[in-house]
Amino acid sequence: MPMSIDALIRAANREDAQVPQYKLPDLFTFRDGRIVNTVALWRERREELLALFTESMYGHVPQCPVEQRATVVWKAGDFLEGLASASEIDLLLRTRHGAVTVRVLVVVPNGLTAAAPVFLGYNFYGNATVSMDPRITLGDTFVRNELAGVEANRLTESGRGGEAHRWPLEFLIRRGYAVVTACMGALAPDSPEHWRDGAARLFPSDESSSAGGAIAWWAWGLRQLMDYIVGDTRLDAQRVTVIGHSRLGKAALWAGAQDERFARVISNNSGCGGASLARRRLGETVEIINAIFPYWFCRNYHAYGQNVNSLPIDQHALLALVAPRQLHVASASEDWWADPRGEFLAAREASAAYRLYGKQGLTEDQTQADVSGNDCTIGGSVRYHRRTGKHDLLLADWERYV
């Protein structure tokens, strides 16, 4: 008889000493036995790995033309006491099956003589949570009832600025970065009953076992937002960093793996289904995540809950798909649920793909000693840091990202 969710959580491994022996799928071995030893062969292997992640884990989203239309809701040049210009854009996404509108907050430094590099990422509860500025609209997007100021799955005025600590806008603007963000719920509400009420409505219903779940749709939405950035001359589409925290770190990694227009990909505390190795079975596991959030991944992924070693991929391969672009994986010392050591090891293993391109990642001789303290930053084109503290996105993280 399957264990209850509570029992699974209570039984979760917290100790590195209890991690079972495992063998990771080899990055450079094709399914037909061929070995990668050139960039050209890696490009071929990359397509095979993308297909394996799509079929086994994240699931596919239908491919058909999407029309975009951007309408300015409001704009102002005196945001952050004149440091920046800000606007909210209603981005209409339409296919022949329907339309969805995503409200996008765009904040750009004033006084720049060239297009600004961009941090692109979702917020959890609405654009108004990233700043106390009263001009940012509350919106009407379905969000989880987890933040003070959210009532009946909708953000209220008392929730304004509730996640501002995760979006240090003044710090980023002073460093010359633009910020583009939208609420995750506009693309796929984070709910087992409602997740199909977002972008999935734009395509015919797909009930196959490899149909994409919510993470696939969040990733799809990030790619649509990248399309918008390409058309905004204030923003440098060649220098876009896609970033996500926790479940949104999973989405950022999957978007960055698929779409090579993203110059840099950042995973902040993304854990299971993101940057940490599934085969370690420490903290949240494939079985647990599919029990709690059965709508995040495709149904094929559920078959591996009690047999994770049969997965044809693991998360080091997902990170390797970002090569040779910049990759930054971040952990927190007290976030055992996301398995910080598993995130570090995945980034180290992924570095082999970077070495094919002559890029510096994490080296084979970097071990637990390199991340044994509560605060460390190591690496090159593959970068890893672990900061002191809990599961969160903090200024201490952003200071490393800029």
Helix axes 247-258, 39-53, angle to 10 degrees: 130
What are the CA-CA distances from residue 199 to residues 101, 119, 228, 237, 243 (Å)?
9, 22, 16, 23, 20
Quick check: is 328 catalytic? no
| Residue type at 227 in one-letter notation | D
Cis amide leading into 168 (omega within 30): no
Neighbouring C-beta atoms of residue 249, cutoff 10 Å:
27
Q: Which of 190, 58, 31 is nearest to 123 (CA)?
A: 190
Quick check: is 246 catalytic? yes
The Cα angle at residue 383 between residues 330 and 260, in degrees rounded to 5:
95
CA distance from start to end of the chain: 49
Question: Which of 60, 194, 302, 391 is an active site residue?
Answer: 391
Please name the residue that has the structure tokens 């977002």: 198
The C-alpha atoms of residue 285 and residue 290 are separated, in whole angstroms, by: 8
Neighbouring C-beta atoms of residue 295, cutoff 10 Å:
20
| Exposed / middle / buried, residue 188 (Cβ in 10 Å: 0-12, 13-18, 19+) | buried
Q: Give me the residues paired with residue 75 across strands.
A: 87
Q: Give me the residues paired with residue 383 across strands.
A: 328, 379
Question: Which of 56, 87, 246, 276 is an active site residue?
Answer: 246
Residue 253's H or E segment, with its range, is: helix 247-258
| Residue type at 9 in one-letter notation | I
Residues marked as catalytic: 246, 391
